Homo-oligomer: A and B are copies of this chain.
Amino acid sequence: MDKKISEKVISRLTLYHCILREFITKEHEYISSKQIATLLRIDDSQVRKDLNLLNNSGKTRVGYNVKELKTTIEKTLGYSKTKHTCIIGAGNLGMALAKYDNFTSYGLNVVAMFDNDTNKIGNKINDKEILDIKNLSNFVSHNEIDIAILTVPSKFAQETSELIVNSGIKYIWNFTSRVLKVPEDVQVWNENLMGNFLQFTYNI
């Protein structure tokens, strides 16, 4: 399989995956590219083109085998290689993400949460303990943590990102509205909610 899958294709494959999970819940055995395309209001040919990128053997006369296609997408996007993460900031957004049922099925394992609020430290959200942010470095040195999910209030974003960097974590998924200054070897993905929103509403 060609490993060079574009960002747009990755994004669509995860949407196909959502649809497949629903079809499995409903005990449908087969799905056609046309059904996927209709739900997402995209071109049937686009769906077929995307699915042709996969090593998928489950295509039959009546459509794709739902379970096989789901597994193929998971393999292609590397869900099977689990990544370990901490959520930094146990506010509403951090808690929402800790409860997000989808993370695990996409190979993202939330190991713990961190906060500086003594009222929160020690509590558990969806079985993930809230630990003291002071102990982040120590925790990271004893646990495999690939990614930090940053959900603190924006005004604390930069200083908290420095704690993350000092702990040795190399990837930050940034949900704050602050653009972070980090060293060259640290990568930041800005979850730019407003950018997404404006793409949607630009023509309203």
Contacts and interface: CB of A to CB of B under 8 A. Distances in A.
Interface of A: 5, 7, 10-15, 17-19, 22, 39-40, 77-78, 83, 91-93, 95-96, 99-103, 106, 108, 146-147, 154, 171, 173, 177-179, 181, 187, 189-202, 204
A95 B97 CA distance: 12
B11 A196 contact: yes
B11 A204 contact: no
A146 B201 CA distance: 10
A200 B173 contact: yes
A186 B131 CA distance: 43
How many copies the complex holds: the figure is 2
Contacts of A96: 91-93, 96
A15 B179 contact: yes
A108 B14 CA distance: 28
Given A15-B179, A77-B198, 18 more contacts: A11-B192, A11-B195, A11-B199, A14-B192, A15-B190, A22-B178, A40-B179, A78-B198, A78-B202, A83-B201, A83-B204, A93-B93, A102-B193, A106-B197, A108-B197, A147-B201, A147-B204, A171-B204
A101 B152 CA distance: 13
27 contacts: A10-B195, A10-B198, A11-B198, A11-B199, A12-B195, A13-B195, A14-B198, A15-B190, A15-B192, A15-B195, A18-B177, A18-B178, A40-B179, A78-B202, A83-B201, A92-B93, A92-B96, A93-B93, A101-B154, A102-B154, A102-B193, A108-B197, A108-B201, A146-B204, A171-B201, A173-B197, A189-B196
